Amino acid sequence: MAANPASRWGLRVLGLGYLTLLLLIPLVMIFFKTFEDGISPPLDAVTSPDGLHALKLSLLMVAIAVPLNTIFGVGCALLLVRRKTKLNPVIDAVINLPFAVSPIVIGLSLYLLYGVGGWFAFISEEGFKILFAVPGMVLASIFVSLPFVVRETVPVLQEIGTDQEQAASTLGANGWQTFWKVTLPSIRWGVAYGVVLTTARVLGEFGAVTIVSGAISGQTQTLPLFVEKQHENFNDPGAYGASLVLALLALVTLFAMNMLKRKEDA
Amino acid sequence: MGISVEGANKRFGDFQALDDVSIEVPDGSLTALLGPSGSGKSTLLRAIAGLEDLDSGLVTINGENATGKPAQKRGVGFVFQHYAAFKHMTVYDNVAFGLKIRKWDKAKTSARVHELLELVQLEGLAGRFPSQLSGGQRQRMALARALAVEPKVLLLDEPFGALDAKVRKDLRTWLRNLHEEMHVTTIFVTHDQEEAMDVAGQLVVMNQGRVEQSGTADELYEHPANEFVMSFVGEVNRLGDHFVRPHDMEVVLDADERTQEGLVQRIVTLGFEVRVELVLSDGTEVWAQLTRAELQRLELREGQIAYLRPIQAKSFNGSSSSNLDGASTPLGSHDGGDAGLPAAV
C-alpha cells in the first residue's frame, strides 16, 4: 500500500505527538523544575554525603549485577540455542519470570528467604548480613535485570547459525577459541544492547531494592531510593536533581553504545 | 591411505540419513558424492569432517582412525555451501584464522596468506570484508581459508550450489585445475550430475541413505548398476521395463518388427543437438536425441508419425543388459519375453 503524503504526515504527527505527551514532556518538566530556584538547591542535595553515597551505591550495583548477568545471559543463550535439551522450554519460561513478576514481589520473596525464619536465614546468623545490606540489594538487582542479556542474545545467535562456528572447528579451533574469536564477535551488538538495558534497569530499580535494603540513608540507599526520600521530605529540587543524575547516567550508557557502534561501522 | 568409511549409520529421529554406507576414496583423488537432496551425501561428508557423529561405523583418514575425534583434530579442510565466511573479519584474517590458531608467527602467516590469496586470485582484496565480495569471491576465500592449514583432505559441501551458472562453470574448471596442482584428497558433494562428471574422476552415487554405485563417470554411464543410477546419471527414457538413453533412440520413417510407432509432438533445436519428443500409442512420452543433420535428412515435422528403434536398452529385472545393435537380438527376448518393450499396437 503506497500511502499518500497526507496520511503519511498524519501518521508521523500522531506518533511523535504521542511520544511527546507521554515521554518527552514529563522528562523536560523535571529538567526545568530542577533549576527553578537556581543551581544550588539540586547541587547541594546531590553532593550531600547521602546523595554521593547513593550515587556510589547505584554504580556499585551496576558494577556487580551487570557483569554477572552478562556472563550468565550469554551462557544461558548459548545453552538455549546451541544445545537442544528437554529442559530448554522450562529454562526459557523461568528466565522470563522477572519480567512477569512485580519487583515488589521479588523483594518480598527475597525477604522471606533470607529474613528471620527463612530457609537461608542461617547465612545472616553466621554473620554475613544479606538483608538491609549490599548483598541483598545486589541479589535484588540481579533478579530484576536477569532476562535482558538472554533475550537480546538469543535471536542474534539463532540468526548467525552454526556455519561459522563449524568452520572454525574444522580449522582447528577448540570450543573456547571458537567462542572468543567467532561467536562473541558475531553476537556482540545483541549482547551490548542487553548490557545497556540491564544497566538502565539496575540503575532505576526501586521496588525490590526498597524491600531488601530498608533504605537507610547513607548506608543502603541507592539513587532511586534517595530520590524518593527527598520527595517525601519536601525537598523537591533535591529529588529532581538526583533524578536528573539518573537520567544522565542512562543517556551516557546509550551514547556509549552508539559511539562504539558507529566506530565499528565506519 | 585416502579416506575410508565403513558401515556408517546415522538416524535423525525417524529419518535414516545413512544406512550402512561404506566408501573408499583413494589418496589424492577427486571424488564426487552425487545424489538427490535427502540422499545422505552431505551427512556422510559432515561425518567424515567430524561435524556429525555417526550412530555406528568407522571413519579412517589417511590410515588413521578418526571416528569420534572432534572436528578440530581431524585435519580436514571444509568448504560450506553458504561460504561460512567470518563476517567480522577481513579476507586476510579469514584466511589467517587457522594459522593464528596454530600460533604461526606473523611473518610466516603473512607469507602463507598472500600465497593463498594469489592462488585463489584475490590478491588485491586482503583488506576487504566478506560483505564486500561477490559470491564467487567469497567461496574462493573460503577455499583459501580451508587450504591455508594444509589439510590432509579437502571436503566441499555443494560448494557452487549458491552461485549463478556462469560463475559455477568457471569455478568448476578452476577447482579441477587446482586439484591437479595440489593433489590433496578431495571429496565434493553435489546434486548436479553434470558438475560431478565434469569435475570428479571418481563418483559415488547415493540415494536414500545408501550408496547405489561408485566408479568413474564412464563406468556409471555405460554400466549403471540399477535403475536409479541409470536415470540419475544421464538422461533416460523408460519403455516398459527397459531404459533407453535418448541418443540410443533411432528415429526412422519406416516401420519394421523392432520399431514402435510414435507421434512427434515437439522438436526442439538446441544448437547442434535436436530434441525430438514423441508420444507412443500407449501414452508413454519419450524423447530422442538427434543431430541437426539427421533431422534434416528425415525431414521430421511436429504432428507426424515416426518410428522409434532403440539401439541399446537396459533392463534391471535380472541385472541383464541387452545390446541391440545386431539384428539377431530382438528386444524383449532376453529375459523370458515378458519384460520386453511393449509392442506397438
pLDDT tens for B316-331 read: 875 444 444 433 334 4
The residues facing B218 across adjacent strands are: none
Angle subtended by helix axes A236-265 and A25-34, to nearest 10: 120
**A interface residues, B as partner, C-beta within 8 Å:** 163-164, 166-174, 177, 181-182, 185-186
| Mean pLDDT score across all residues of chain B | 88
d(CA B127, CA A221): 52
Cell (9 digits) for B148: 591455508
Residues lower than pLDDT 70 in chain A: 1-3, 263-266
pLDDT of residue B118: 93
> Which DSSP string do the residues of B269-284 spell out, in sequence order?
EETTEEEEEEEETTS-
Task: Determine the Cα–Cα distance for residues B142 and B133; give it in Å rounded to an integer.
Answer: 12
Strand pairing category for B260-270 and B312-315:
unpaired
Distance from the Cα of A70 to chain B's closest Cα (Å) equals: 21
Find the helix or strand (DSSP H, E) in which B309 lies.
Answer: strand B305-310
Chain B residues within 8 A of A177 when measuring between CB atoms: 101
**pLDDT by residue (tens digit) across B252-280?**
998 888 888 999 999 999 888 999 999 99
Q: So what's the pLDDT on residue B105?
A: 95
Angle of the A223-232 helix axis to the A236-265 helix axis, nearest 10: 150
Q: What grid cell was written down for B152?
A: 590432509
Q: B38-58, pLDDT tens digit by residue?
A: 999 999 999 999 999 999 999
pLDDT of residue B220: 92
Q: Of B288, B281, B191, B208, nearest to B247 (Cα)?
A: B288
Residue among A82, A171, A265 with most chain B CBs within 10 A, to mutate = A171
* Amino acid A3: pLDDT: 63
ipTM over 0.85? The verdict is no
Query: Are the C-beta atoms of B61 and B232 separated by less than 8 Å?
Result: no
Residues of B in contact with A172 (CB under 8 A): 72-73, 98, 101-102, 149
pLDDT at B114: 95
What is the per-residue pLDDT for B281?
87
Q: What average pLDDT score do residues B309-314 get?
A: 88
Q: Percentage of residues in chain B with pLDDT exceeding 90?
A: 65
Q: A11-45 as b/e, with b when 16 or more CB fall inside 10 Å?
A: eeeeeeeeeeeeeeeeeeeeeebbbeeeeebbbeb
- Say yes or no to pLDDT of B132 above 80: yes
- Phi/psi at B307 (nearest 5 deg)? -125, 140
Mean pLDDT of the region B293-311? 90
Least CB–CB distance from A171: residue in B82, B85, B97: B97
Alpha carbon separation from B197 to A2, A66, B176, B216, B313 (Å, rounded): 51, 58, 11, 8, 22
Distance in angstroms (rounded) separating the CA atoms of residues B143 and B83: 9
CB contact under 8 A, A168 and B87: no
The C-alpha of B230 sits at a distance from chain A's nearest C-alpha, in angstroms, of: 34
CB of A141 within 8 A of CB of A59?
no
Assess whether pLDDT exceeds 70 at residue B246: yes
- Mark yes or no for CB contact B86/A164 under 8 Å: yes
The set of cell numbers assigned to B273 is 543437438
pLDDT tens, residue by residue, B135-182? 999 999 999 999 999 999 999 999 998 888 888 888 899 899 989 988
Q: Taking CB atoms and an 8 Å cutoff, what residues of chain B touch A184?
A: none
pLDDT at B342 over 50: no
- pTM score over 0.80: yes
Q: Identify all chain A residues contacting B74, using CB atoms and an 8 Å cutoff.
A: 170
User: Across the interface, which of B88, B97, B145 has its CB nearest the CB of A186?
Assistant: B88
Handedness of CA B206, B211, B212, B216 (dihedral sign): positive
Which of B51, B77, B145 has its CB closest to that of A166? B51
H helix count then E strand count, chain A? 16, 0
Nearest-by-CA chain B residue for A177? B101
In order of B1, B61, B74, the CA distances from B64 in angstroms are 9, 5, 10
Counting every residue, how long is chain B? 345
User: What residues of A are in contact with residue B70 (Cβ under 8 Å)?
Assistant: 169
Minimal Cα–Cα distance from A263 to chain B, Å? 14
- Of A166, A170, A186, A264, which to mutate for an interface test with B (greatest number of B Cβ within 10 Å)? A170
Q: What is the pLDDT of residue A265?
A: 65
